[in-house]
Structure 1
């Protein structure tokens, strides 16, 4: 067993994974039955009589995918080789690539972030660059996964990315780089005021327990007397790693999680210790799932750790994976997991001890990522984003319905004036960047959930 994996969101197509297996499987379960005969007949017809030639691989992969889809379980899934590799790399904490996060936007395939010390960073790619070519091939109209497949390749091989940059419209900028193995830490730490340490866990990957152990030690060396554990957006990961992380905080022998299989057999996993008496506050949200929920529930029920934020995702099942020689993987649910108190949170989530919502404007997209320019009398969803952003920045915009009116133009002109830009009332790339800079400053001071957690942590530390 490589470990129990708990992933709740679509990117991991998650679940509580009890292990990663790789084997060739030979199984003949009643192939003479009418159901199997129907399958063989359908395969033979499509293989020999369909008007275009289709490969065996495509037909059989489709059959496996069809079986997983028929179950109706979003966490039982079939990954073709490329997707399986990406899934495995995400959980290993390292991958071969250029080091960018891409997303399909109305502008096309847009770079959302560039990782530090990555080939992309060294080459000069930037957030909001829109990919238009990969190795000279146009990617216009291509699906996100197809573009990702083109960007991927063997370690050390070269790839040239052509992009449109908002600040340099009308030109395709070319950047050549060599693909490299990139290690992405799953844990980041920093000290806050008042002897409060902050630790963010982005995914419960293979090395996360080691990173948590080291991060906790570093924070305590820096004087941390209380800890905020930020699990917001964490889709989960390995169950056994979640148990190891919990063991850093929960005394040895205490129950952390229970799993129950199809035969109703219950397996109880307890803390390995050593535990830690540092006061902890957990941050969670609607994207905190699976292994992250296991950790949150154990800390809450075993140690009385307060949960701050919004109700969690509610992913309460356990998966295993079966790998095949062609690189594909079948992931399937084998059990459900229960909190130490025996609760099954599936489709319900964990209820925060202190419910705190973020301001609605924190989910607004950057204006630079939208299709520009924006100007008076336009009526679009993008203009609505602009108006909501301007209102959040306290500019007196009269409406947020997407119609670019006189008040919207005046607010844009006010920003242009303060930024030293030509006062046109039209949102071009430079104006969008100026708006985004102001908005990012606002966001940096808008984390109401973190502020609540910090106040609680200071109270817990002072009461020790």
Structure 2
């Protein structure tokens, strides 16, 4: 009897030890490849916006992978990509060292390639154009927001990840890439595009003395990179020195960039009010506020279209909800998710969706976009037609500014807000 008890106890104890070895030992005896995989797993485990991890056991995914040999760096990369793919989030992705460096360079203000901002359509999985960078080879080739990229140099885009597609479109200046483009149900067409060095000057500004009742400062913001806030602030000051009394801020085809740049630029226009709410995995709201030091209080109209995305939508939503500006144009793209970049120990990296954002009135724009106050459709314009009499959205913005001047008797921001600003919507939470 005592022996049987001892044997049963031994078996139970052995089972505990055996289980302990299986579940705990990997943490103490990982190979270099397993350590890199585990590093990526921990980042997602700590930061990813969905605490259910797409309704799957995130710990078990780690355990199953660590029980397999990872014999090379390529196998490790594949394992990380497979792990991230299980989240079914096209914006959370693995970046090889060259891709990670390229993404850092693009936000710093330099780029070589064709100049396309792209995304995966969450519903269809197709590769979609957010917007071409102004003046880039893609822009000159006539590629438009919402165009679908069917193939790149003959390789179907469905076979490529987002970053693989981006890598194939980059390349040295003077080299060529062939894109097959599909637009609104029309027959696909192939475009041969010559890569070039792309100037990422985020701000284009001019003084318009002829279109409106008073001089208008026109500012086109093409990207939220590291230089954007400083350059936009200087443009506002310079235009006011030249006599600008009203402003048109053009965010058309601005696909976003750095979140912090969007927040700082909103502060240039707002004396007070919330700029954006961010909502993390615990549904905890954090907010970014204006700091009471607006650079100008002159009347403002913002131009938006289907290529206005991400940080551009944060800025447009902040100005609209705070009654600082009216929006003219088309419904924006609808990207309301925030990614952070994390560098891994071997120089590769992860882009991880860490939060979603809501406008000051708690409007969740993801997949919905922001509705303009004055809808105006627009066909493709040549670059020299932008912000001229040939640009109906710009002309609608000028008409709004003229209306404010007539109603207020003077181009004063307080009068503009009182007379023309849209009614504030009651806050609601969108989850």
The alignment's TM-score, normalised by the length of structure 2, stands at 0.61
Tell me by how many angstroms 1:240 deviates: 2.0
Which of 350, 353, 365 is the matching residue for 1:333?
A: 353
Residue from 179, 187, 192 that aligns with 2:203:
187
Tell me which residue corresponds to 1:453.
Answer: 397
Closer, same or farther: CA 284–39 of 1 in aligned 2, 3 Å: same
CA deviation map 1:244-278 (0-9, x unaligned)? 11111110x42111112112222121112311211
Aligned equivalents of 2:105, 2:77: Cα separation in 1: 21
In the alignment, is the contact (CA less than 8 A) between 2:270 and 2:324 conserved in 1? Answer: no
Shift of 1:42: 5.2
Q: 1:151 aligns with which of 172, 180, 189?
A: 172
How far residue 38 of structure 1 moved from its aligned partner, in angstroms, is: 3.3
Residue 291 of structure 1 deviates from its aligned partner by: 1.1
Indicate yes or no: 2:313 matched with 1:287: no
Question: Compared with structure 1, are the counterparts of its residues 441 and 308 closer, same or farther at alpha carbon in structure 2 (3 Å cutoff)?
Answer: closer
Q: Name the structure 1 match of 2:65.
A: 39
**Alignment partners' CA distance in 2, 1:305 and 1:113:** 25
> Partners of 1:238 and 1:102 in 2: how far apart?
17
For these two proteins, the number of residue pairs brought into alignment is 305
Q: For the structure 1 residues 92 and 42, does the alpha-carbon distance in structure 2 shift closer, same or farther, using more than 3 Å as the test?
A: same
Q: Secondary structure at the match of 1:352?
A: coil
1:240 aligns with 260
Any idea what the Cα deviations from partners look like across 1:316-357, whole Å, max 9, x if unmatched?
222222112333221111222121122222221111100110
Q: How has the CA–CA distance of structure 1 residues 77 and 277 changed in structure 2, closer, same or farther, with 3 Å as cutoff?
A: same
- Indicate the residue corresponding to 1:395 in structure 2: none
- Work out whether residues 37 and 80 of structure 2, in 8 Å CA contact, stay in contact via their aligned partners in 1: no
| Residue 257 in structure 1 maps to residue 273 in structure 2 | no
1:58 partnered with 2:74: yes
Compared with structure 1, are the counterparts of its residues 76 and 36 closer, same or farther at alpha carbon in structure 2 (3 Å cutoff)? Answer: closer
Give the deviation of 1:183 after TM superposition: 5.7
Aligned to 1:94: 110
The separation in 1 between residues aligned to 2:74 and 2:104, in whole angstroms, is: 22
Contact 1:255/1:271 (8 A) holds in 2: yes
Q: CA deviation at 1:43?
A: 4.7
Aligned-residue CA RMSD (Å): 3.9
1:83 aligns with 2:96: no
- Does residue 266 (structure 1) correspond to residue 282 (structure 2)? The answer is no
Q: Which runs of 5+ in 1 are unaligned?
A: 1-23, 48-55, 104-111, 121-126, 129-138, 153-159, 165-174, 364-438
- The answer on whether the counterparts of 2:204 and 2:220 sit within 8 Å (CA) in structure 1 is yes
Task: Specify the alignment match of 1:308 in structure 2.
Answer: 328
SS of 2:339's partner is strand
Distance 2:385 2:234 in 1: 32
